[in-house]
């Protein structure tokens, strides 16, 4: 792991990997007012999660291939 936030980033990516999440739900669950905890932004910047339009016209958050590799490297990838 690279920094102190990696365990929280790992938790976020794992949470999204369980099922695609609506953007609003992800923002509600993972919001923070602490400028030192940039978990959401770090996960996006590293390419572990991404925004994707859904059939219901809402934005979903999904895990990318890089996110799946990150989970696997940390023994958190769930078998489907």
Query: What are the structure tokens assigned to 74, written together?
Result: 């940390």
Whether 34 maps to a domain, the answer reads: yes
Is residue 59 one of the residues assigned to a domain?
Answer: yes
The pTM assigned to this predicted structure is: 0.81
Q: Does any domain span residue 3?
A: no
Residue 16 within any structural domain of the chain: no
62, part of any domain: yes
Residue 36 in any domain: the answer is yes
- pLDDT over threshold 90, residue 15: yes
Quick check: is 10 in a domain?
Answer: no
Q: Could you list the residue range(s) of the whole structural domain that residue 46 is in?
A: 21-73
Task: Decide if 47 is inside a domain.
Answer: yes
- Number of structural domains the chain divides into: 1
Rounded to whole angstroms, the Cα distance separating 61 from 64 reads: 10
pLDDT digits (tens, 9 = 90+) for 17-62: 998 888 888 888 887 777 666 888 899 999 999 988 777 778 899 9
């Amino acid at each position: 792991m690279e920094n102190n936030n990696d365990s929280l980033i790992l938790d976020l990516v794992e949470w999204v990997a369980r099922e695609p999440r609506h953007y609003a739900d992800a923002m509600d669950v993972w919001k923070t007012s602490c400028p030192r905890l940039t978990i959401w932004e770090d996960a996006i910047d590293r390419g572990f999660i991404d925004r994707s339009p859904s059939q219901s016209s809402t934005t979903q958050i999904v895990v990318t291939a890089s996110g799946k590799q990150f989970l696997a490297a940390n023994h958190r990838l769930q078998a489907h």
